[in-house]
Amino acid sequence: MLIEKDSVVSIAYQLLDASGEVLEKSDQPISYLHGGYDGIFPVVEEALHRQAIGYSCSVLMNPENTFGEYDSELVRVESRDAFPRDIEVGMQFEGAQEGSAEVMIFTVTDIADDKVVVDGNHPLAGQTLRFDCTVVAVRPATAEELSHGHVHGDDGAHGHEH
Ligand SMILES: [Zn+2]
């Protein structure tokens, strides 16, 4: 069958940066619900639309198609008192963006004596990325999957509460 809206698509993939370094690689194929459910990058969905098992593609993705441009306004210097004592570079915290209720993930990027620098950009923001994938399975989604908007396990197992 061809990949259409409401297909469950399984792909083996790797995500690379512009220099060709592998950032992420699937050990097992991953499955997503095709057709605008935010299961995967929209540009990858476009590339896979109406393709079939065995199809391979390599999609170049600009920041606007992935994690956005790097926004220097999302870098903040905070007082160290506001953080746990065992804070380390690379730790992540939830926080709200000024003037917005949206919860963002901030990553600690630098620690000085009494200051902590946190960055609300996604670690891959501003990067051109390459997504290489091969379609390994396609099946119609179940009614339950469609009502949830995501894929359930092969055995119908359902590890979440909604
Ligand atoms: Zn579900």
What's the CATH number where 102 sits? 2.40.10.330
Residues 42 and 90 in one domain: no
Residue 62 inside a domain? The answer is yes
Distance 12 CA to ligand 1 centre (A): 22
Residues 52 and 86 in one domain: no
What's the CATH number where 18 sits? 3.10.50.40
Distance 90 CA to ligand 1 centre (A): 31
Identify the pLDDT of residue 102: 78
Residues 104 and 144 in one domain: no
Identify the pLDDT of residue 99: 76
Q: Of all residues in the chain, what percent carry a pLDDT higher than 70?
A: 93
Residue labelled with tokens 């055995």? 155
Distance 31 CA to ligand 1 centre (A): 13
Q: Which of 52, 47, 38, 42 is nearest to 1 (CA)?
A: 52
96 band by pLDDT with thresholds 50, 70 and 90 = confident
Domain range for residue 59? Answer: 7-66+125-148
Identify the pLDDT of residue 154: 62
Residue 159 inside a domain? The answer is no
Number of folded domains that form the chain: 2
CA angle 52, 28, 54 (to 5 degrees): 20
pLDDT digits (tens, 9 = 90+) for 97-152: 777 777 889 999 999 989 999 999 998 999 999 999 999 999 999 999 999 999 99
Identify the pLDDT of residue 103: 84
Distance 152 CA to ligand 1 centre (A): 6
